[in-house]
Amino acid sequence: MSALFEPITLRSLTIPNRLWMAPMCQYSAAPEGPAEGAPGDWHFQHLAARAAGGTGLILTEATAVSPEGRISPYDLGLWNDTQTEAFRRITGFLKEQGTVPGIQIAHAGRKASTERTWVDRGAPLLPGQRYGWEPVGPSPVPFGEGFAAPAELTVAQIGEIVEQFRATARRALEAGFEVAEIHGAHGYLINQFLSPFTNRRTDEYGGSYENRTRFALEVVDVVREVWPDELPVFFRISATDWLTEDESDPREGWTADDTVRFARELREHGIDLLDTSTGGNAPDAKITTGPGYQVPFAERVKKESGLAVGAVGLITEARQAEKIVADGQADAVLLGRELLRSPSFAQHAARELGARTAVPQPYHRAV
């Protein structure tokens, strides 16, 4: 038996296997007009192909809770009825293939208003430029050279964004999603509040660990209020900013110890799985990469918090993924680039591991 292809049940939702698709921005939505921020044909085929390929759970790309919360003007959003209806076509097809549809809801914060990654390497779009706008953040600390300093959010504005997360979660449910993932990783707004590297506030949302985690927990609470008790909510986190791991770097950031502590609190607030990544908040941090380089962070969270975890990061081979799950390092693996290269990776992996996964009837000759 393959551990990777064993079903997993979170709350009352059973996911058919442990090989899932990580959120990956496509930068392919309309930047303006009636279909602004709505998924189109590209998004449909992108997600549908991986569902037909046997992926157990598919998480959409970071889907913004407001126009200003997008990473780029070409990102998906879920703040209006047109977007909600467009997502229904996708979730319906995924369910028909036996795949669980999930959505990652997000706000980019200071990393908002950028070009597509293949245009000037995702250069910032400054206020006054076409499609550009002023980003916001916990503190007026720009992401990097050439980026605008974000406007520091007021307490009232923080409350408005919390309510935007609530509204987007409600729309996601209406659109047919069965898993909601809150994006708290990769240097986007929630991560910016968590980390002392980007959070320089002196009010109730900054300073102490308790204050820096306040915004994230408020978001978790409102999403959990909207999301049905029988369906799971995930939280994606950057387990470290990769600053404390570098002894030559005196800057203070979010740490693995913080993540374990926070995972215990997230569990108490109704989070069912921690999608465990790293980095993205300090653009010049020194990161040592390699196959499965982020798995140890997930494993530590699982062992020390009791929270279910997903592992990510340079997981590219079936037996590598199988070992991560079989050894108890993670409850599931989330693939990114490998699923871009091979939409039917799950079917190939099942064949290699001697397991079975769903194959669409029109493809039965391939079994």
Q: Which residues are catalytic?
A: 188
- Report d(CA 297, CA 312) in Å as an integer: 10
CB 162 within 8 Å of CB 222: yes
State how far the alpha carbon of 180 is from the alpha carbons of 57, 82, 93, 139, 216, in Å: 11, 19, 18, 27, 15
Closest to 39 measured CA to CA, from 167, 193, 175: 175
Q: Which residues contact 47 (CB under 8 A, 6 or more apart)?
A: 21, 58, 60, 90, 94
Closest to 101 measured CA to CA, from 53, 48, 168, 63: 48
CB 20 within 8 Å of CB 58: yes
